[in-house]
Amino acid sequence: MLDIVLDGNKGTEFCGKKYPVFIIEKQPLYGWGMYRRLAQQIVTDYAQEKAVVLLNHDEKFSINKLSIALFVAALQIENNLELAVFKVDDFVAARKAYEPYLSLTIALKFALFMLHDTPHQIYKNIEGMGYLGLNIKHDFSQNKLILDYVGADDALYLETQTDNVADALIYAAVLKTLALAKIKAKYHIEMVLNETNYPIDTDYLIGQVLRKASVWLKS
Mean per-residue pLDDT for 209-219? 82
Mean per-residue pLDDT for 38-42? 96
Q: In the predicted model, is pLDDT for residue 164 greater than 70?
A: yes
Q: In the predicted model, is pLDDT for residue 206 greater than 90?
A: no
* Three-class DSSP labels, 98-118: HHHHHHHHHHHHHHHHCCCCC
Give the rounded percent of residues in the chain with a pLDDT score beyond 70: 100
Residues β-bridged to residue 81: none
Q: In the predicted model, is pLDDT for residue 30 greater than 80?
A: no
Q: How confident is the model at residue 49 (pLDDT cuts 50, 70, 90)?
A: very high
198's CB contacts (< 8 A; 6+ apart) are 119, 164, 165, 166
Give the rounded percent of residues in the chain with a pLDDT score beyond 90: 76
Task: Round the average pLDDT of the chain to a whole number and report it.
Answer: 92
pLDDT (tens digit per residue) in 70-91: 999 998 899 999 999 999 999 9
Strand pairing report for 186-192 and 51-56 = unpaired
Q: In the predicted model, is pLDDT for residue 219 greater than 80?
A: no
